[in-house]
Amino acid sequence: MIKNPHFDVVYGDAGDHAYVDFTDVDVRIPMFVYLSREKRPGYDHNKKAGAMNAMVRASAVLSNGPFMLNFDCDHYVYNCQAIREAMCYMLDRGGDRICYIQFPQRFEGIDPSDRYANHNTVFFDGNMRALDGLQGPMYVGTGCLFRRYAIYGFNPPRVTEYHGVVGQTKVPIDAHTRSAGGDEELRPLTDHPDHEAPQRFGKSKTFVESIAVAEYQGRPLQDHPSVRNGRPPGALLMPRPPLDAATVAEAVSLISCWYEDSTEWGLRVGWIYGSVTEDVVTGYRMHNRGWRSVYCITKRDAFRGTAPINLTDRLHQVLRWATGSVEIFFSKNNALCASRRLMFLQRMSYLNVGIYPFTSLFLIMYCLLPALSLFSGQFIVATLDPTFLCYLLLITTTLILLCLLEVKWSGIGLEEWWRNEQFWVIGGTSAHLAAVLQGLLKVTAGIEISFTLTAKAAAEDDDDPYAELYLIKWTSLFIPPLAIIGINIIAMVVGVSRCVYAEIPQYSKLLGGGFFSFWVLAHYYPFAKGLMGRRGRTPTLVYVWAGLISITVSLLWITISPPDDRISQGGIEV
């Protein structure tokens, strides 16, 4: 730990460096604390949410900054002015109702073609921008500046402005808040009184006293008549007392596992436990209380990180996100159970977070329907009446307009948009389907399954920065896409054979079914390319699975629709 610097400015000397003059430069080093939380089996400290809660409590007694920056260990600060821009939102008029500032995620080390849509530009530059016009973007787990007071589970100031919900009044503040510089405070009636603070935040008196101070320090400046919950300029210009051994010992006790016993940490306070995607749940709880968030896109990227460029690792990442979404859907954090403070369109966006993995069931049908039409010899649509054509035209026009809006708002090219569509099909028929299966088994039978992976072939050139892209690992998530690819290829062969050997060839049905099967296979091109590695060598295990799937589908089709043993030719049975 590097302790708090002296509150007076300390300038450097001309001789401190051979090439740079530090005589007019403040050389004080900010306070730095490395925190290693206690880990024991059965406690949530082993996960990200528990680690963040431990950090919040320890930092409250060490520094108690009103704002906290959170990003993953594989991210780093790329723009040192990004935090200043986020602070402008927090301290502006109405900024006291902002719970966090979310920055877009930018990644390095991704292959130039972005084969597996790691940049996810449509989501970060399209969907999140749209949410910024509502109650605010979702919390995506990294690159986020939080208001400490909002983390503690309190309602925002002037909460009654949200849909007329009653739950706020002016009450006298306690001695701790007066010492922070105020005379009265807007406190929600639903908050616990002081004697229930240990049951909510724990038994640390030092931590409970820091809450009111952090809330007051995070208020915007009272330099405009419209600022209703501000603080006068200069109220915080006071020296901070130095840290003593007792304060450090209190911080150590706050990060122990037993501290959260019989408290609301992880339930209503701090990062919420019980979900793989605890970041989305934490942001949802804040929006549900009436807080707002802001999406801040800086001219220069605020933060940058790394992303898995390997096919298997990318699918397992998507599986983890989708599994968390299914858990949210079957929990009390479902947006259907939200309070009236959550705006309608914001509710729809959170509802989509829990529903989107279930679209994999319809996507599987979409990918298999062309193959079934080729197997049966019937076109996908029995009759093309005017009503159906009008409906099809309306749906097609809507999809085209949606695609154009995504391209325009996201500022991407058609190639990147096409990569995003391809991986949506790949991930939807593999990781999303597995997440739905996991969620249903866990909810209905209490069974938890895991999809393991096994390395099959490694990249030969270690000097290639994209060598990981060609790493081939087998995982059971490959089975559904392989089945869809094999079934569509067999269906095209069956359709061509039926058309060639038929007395009256029906080329229109063949072209229609073949086109849609080819359209499905085109979406799986990055998947097939990933299985072939750098030199196009497909692992033997892939051929084995493809052969087993093809044989199974063929036998199943023969069982469902056995061939007729009578072949008619010229009206004579042979």
- What pLDDT, on a 0 to 100 scale, did the predictor assign at position 387? 82
Helix (H, G, I), strand (E, B) or coil at 108: strand
Residue holding tokens 């938890």?
448
The answer to whether the beta carbons of residues 78 and 106 sit under 8 Å apart is yes
Instruction: Report, as an integer, the average pLDDT of 216-223.
Output: 83
Q: What is the pLDDT of residues 380-405, one digit of tens each?
A: 666 667 888 888 889 989 988 888 88
At 180, is the pLDDT very low, low, confident or very high (cuts 50, 70, 90)?
A: very low
> What Cα–Cα distance (Å) separates residue 260 from each residue in 59, 267, 409?
16, 10, 44
Q: What is the DSSP letter of 189?
A: T
Q: Which of 176-180, 331-335, 387-391, 400-404 has the lowest mean pLDDT?
A: 176-180
Which string of DSSP letters, residue by residue, matches 291-304? -EEEE---SS-SEE
Please answer whether residues 322 and 315 qualify as being in contact, where contact means their C-beta atoms are separated by less than 8 angstroms. Answer: no
State what percent of residues in the chain have pLDDT above 90.
Answer: 11
CA distance 516 to 513: 5
Q: Phi first, then psi: give them for residue 264, nearest 5 degrees.
A: -100, 15
Distance CA 360, CA 264 (A): 36
DSSP strand pairing (292-295 vs 303-306)? unpaired
515-567, pLDDT tens digit by residue? 888 888 888 888 888 877 665 555 565 666 666 766 676 666 666 666 554 44
Q: Which residues participate in the annotated binding site for UDP-alpha-D-glucose?
A: 47
- Burial of residue 28 (CB within 10 Å: 0-12, 13-18, 19+) is middle
Q: Which of 149, 180, 158, 146 is nearest to 93 (CA)?
A: 158
pLDDT at 36: 81
* Extended strands (E) in 436-475: 453-457, 472-475
**CA-CA distances (angstroms) from residue 441 to 445, 447, 481?**
5, 5, 22
Q: How confident is the model at residue 295 (pLDDT cuts 50, 70, 90)?
A: very high
Burial of 476 (0-12, 13-18, 19+ CB in 10 A): middle
pLDDT of residue 545: 64
**Higher per-residue pLDDT: 12 or 463:** 12
Angle of helix 479-501 relative to helix 507-523, nearest 10 degrees?
A: 160
Query: Backbone phi, then psi, for 108, in 5-degree steps?
Result: -120, 165
The percent of residues in the chain predicted with pLDDT above 70, rounded, is 80
Q: Please name which of 168, 145, 200 lies closest in space to residue 341, comparing C-alpha atoms.
A: 168
Asked if 460 and 412 touch (Cβ cutoff 8 Å), the reply is no
Half-sphere exposure of residue 83: CA atoms within 13 angstroms, side-chain side = 12
Which residues make up each annotated binding site? 47-48, 72
**Residue 241 is encoded by which pair of tokens?**
């007392």
Give the 3-state secondary structure of residue 168: strand
Distance CA 355, CA 339 (A): 19
Q: Show binding-site residues for Mn(2+).
A: 48, 72
Q: Tell me the residue type at 338.
A: A
The contacts of residue 84 (CB under 8 Å, 6+ apart) are none
181 or 469, greater pLDDT = 469
| Residue 306 host element (H or E) | strand 303-306
Supply the pLDDT for residue 242: 77
CA 43 to CA 37: how far, in whole Å? Answer: 11
Look up residue 266 and give its DSSP letter: T
